[in-house]
Chain A
């Protein structure tokens, strides 16, 4: 493969992905609790006017998070 793995931060608006794992251990606890589970689908809904933070749809609801937080959620 060799390619850098894609994260939620790389999604385009409307694009979907499936969560594979997390890069940051402490951050992952909060994300897990909020329903970002490995294997679940995420969709990028919108970005704030300045491109950051972003809003994703996960587990059937909208969650907002910053780009550097989103970049810790790795996609399959």
Chain B
């Protein structure tokens, strides 16, 4: 018997069955996140060492309840299982089954087994089942299901070695199908088998149900299948419900002999008790808002210290390089372009890590489902769904993964509205802009002795984004028409203590995605900006320099002051200065000058570039040997050339804050909206609506405050 070196193994199972924990145990840090070809669904793969010389590629497929898809995410599964040419087509499938909910979990298992794949059943959460008074006779279960059954504990990793050993053994025996599709729809199954040369009955039946949405079927194939179904009056809905009922009946028969089922002692279930409090009329909302408040305070307080380290680390590195390397454009490009840009990315890591830590904990613990539950009715009023809460909360970290998380909203209208309003949520890219502007104009004082005033203002900005998101949703709810019904049929998982390994891996995954995804754009923009700010059209720059030097001779200025004046003049006549000046008339009513104009232009690549741009603008022309003051102090020192007063007045700060709160300034978000909505209509509308709102509100704020 020859064994292929890299076995392809797919993990399948119900959501919450412990699939991702098992995946983490099997692959550790050897994980890769990619996309399934043609669709935008996250594909997690990893390599696992099964034995001395057998390695396996593990593929984590989306969690599903049955092979019949209800959401976009679920659609991918049968498409892969139907297409032997697909890169992810498995040699073997591990079905992860939650023992505490055996019947429902076995529904999917019987479907997978009937497709004719070699299957291993990984029985998880046996401890929970026993606590609920359910005892499972494993030996009998193995015999009835005719597949290898391995007990695992997704939390502790117990049983993972046994599972690896089982995976390394080839499976020859493909048992007889549970369901006989030839009894359910004889003509259709028979014809499809013959026409498409398929040996498996159940696969033929699945094709009849699902061909319309399968990418692996050619359009000619679809026409043929449509014809077969029509000629034989194939009623997909009826056949599906007959199949489901039949499967549950056979599972019940199987289980009654194998599982000694006692009724779960409902009263002593901690989960139900917790639910009483967490979904309570008043306490439910209070607890939720308290948690949100805690998260925001934590982001502001905990992230401050590591952010200072990164900030001063980058400054020290820059200073060191400027002192050691020979002066010249290359050194300048490295320190003022590349490293300044890099600093702009690294500084986010603490905040993104903390945010995703909280989101991961809320999801892992099962609390997120309760949040969806208590928020559903409110969200429905504004055209969304309880499930929209996860994208909206994730949007606080980054709109890109948040918009991808809307895929499990089945209803088109609810999904479009969620996608449209999610970028209003204050993402972490806005935090540095907010932080700097707040630090400039809001005093660092304590309110009521414990609360940080700056933290409160930050929270107000988050609330503002949220309220505007809801109002926009409410507006869209009137405009968009749809007859499709929204679903909210959702499992309430039992509360669990979060698995820290999973939380840790989520943080690593999200930070990596941010650094390598958004990071590329930010670095590229930083370098382009440095070039634009260092060079100008024609001889204007040189002329300006000579002019300033001449003027300065008459004034008694120190060398340092002359240098700064020259630098400022040079920037004004650089390409960047020209860009900024061109748009200055448009942004002047908002209180912005051409320097902010430059930052606004570069921000349209990504908001956080604002800080990078500001530091590039203000650090250019600074004496290389001089003190590296931080960007905040530089902005504080900036004077208004007309009045001689500080340039960053509260009115300007408010206007800038509002602009950054509302404007669509993220290329990555527009790209993901384009991908998710399959067209330019939605990203374009979003851009116009958000940026228009931003301009209007900044205008009103600035004009009324000055």
Contacts and interface: CB of A to CB of B under 8 A. Distances in A.
A31 B386 CA distance: 18
A11 interface: no
A5 B272 CA distance: 29
Interface string A13-43: 0000000000001111111111101100000
Interface string A24-68: 011111111111011000000110111111010101111111101
A30 B488 CA distance: 10
Interface stretch (B279-287, B552-560, B561-569, B635-643): B279-287
Nearest to B381: A50
A46 B275 contact: yes
A64 B369 contact: yes
Given A48-B279, A49-B281, A64-B369, A59 B488 contact: no
A61 B490 CA distance: 11
A39 B376 CA distance: 29
A63 B275 CA distance: 13
B110 interface: no
Contacts of A52: 376-377
Given A29-B68, A30-B70, A62-B492, A49 B284 contact: yes
B373 A64 contact: yes
B219 interface: no
B276 interface: yes
B629 interface: no
Given A50-B378, A59-B103, A60-B101, A69 B489 contact: yes
B620 to A, nearest CB: 55
A49 B66 contact: no
A25 B239 CA distance: 12
Given A48-B376, A49-B281, A49-B285, A31 B489 contact: yes
Most buried by B among A27, A33, A46, A63: A33
B245 A38 contact: yes
Contacts of B489: 30-31, 34, 63-65, 69
B237 A29 contact: yes
B516 interface: no
A49 B103 contact: no
B450 to A, nearest CB: 29
A46 B280 CA distance: 9
B264 A32 contact: no
Q: Identify whether the interface residues of A are mostly helix, strand, loop, or mixed.
A: mixed
B104 A35 contact: yes
Interface string B26-53: 0000000000000000000000000000
A25 B271 CA distance: 32
B488 A28 contact: no
A45 to B, nearest CB: 7
B373 A48 contact: yes
Interface string B334-375: 000000000000000000000000000000000001001110
Contacts, number: 110
A2 B45 CA distance: 58
B575 interface: no
B248 interface: yes
Contact of A34 (B65, B237, B281, B486): B65
A55 B492 CA distance: 8
B65 A33 contact: yes
Contacts of A34: 65, 104, 489, 491
A28 B243 CA distance: 13
Contact of B490 (A35, A51, A57, A63): A63
A61 B101 contact: yes
B104 A61 contact: yes
B293 interface: no
Given A48-B373, A52-B377, A59-B104, A65 B492 contact: no
Interface residues of A, number: 33
Interface string B483-496: 00111111110100
A50 B271 CA distance: 21
Contacts of A63: 489-492
Nearest to A30: B489
Most buried by A among B101, B241, B275, B282: B241
Contacts of B398: none
B268 interface: no
B245 A32 contact: yes
B281 A65 contact: no
Given A48-B279, A49-B279, A62 B376 contact: no
B122 interface: no
Interface in B231-249: 237-238, 240-241, 244-245, 248
B351 to A, nearest CB: 31
B183 interface: no
Given A32-B241, A64-B490, A49 B65 contact: no
Contacts of B134: 60
A64 B278 CA distance: 14
B386 to A, nearest CB: 7
Contacts of A48: 279, 373-374, 376-377
A61 B103 CA distance: 11
A45 B370 CA distance: 13
Interface in B185-233: none
B445 to A, nearest CB: 36
Most buried by B among A31, A62, A63, A68: A62
Contacts of B281: 49
Given A30-B70, A61-B104, A66 B376 contact: yes
B491 A37 contact: no
A73 B491 CA distance: 17
Interface string B316-345: 000000000000000000000000000000
Contacts of B237: 25-26, 29
A33 B311 CA distance: 53
Contact of B373 (A26, A28, A55, A57): A55
Interface of B: 65-66, 68, 70, 100-101, 103-104, 107, 132, 134, 237-238, 240-241, 244-245, 248, 264, 266, 271-272, 275-276, 279-282, 284-285, 369, 372-374, 376-378, 386, 485-492, 494
Given A60-B264, A64-B491, 8 more contacts: A30-B489, A32-B241, A34-B104, A48-B373, A53-B386, A61-B491, A62-B275, A63-B491
5 nearest CB pairs, A to B:
A62-B492, A50-B377, A49-B281, A32-B244, A35-B104
11 contacts: A25-B237, A27-B487, A33-B65, A48-B376, A55-B275, A55-B373, A61-B494, A62-B275, A62-B491, A63-B489, A63-B491
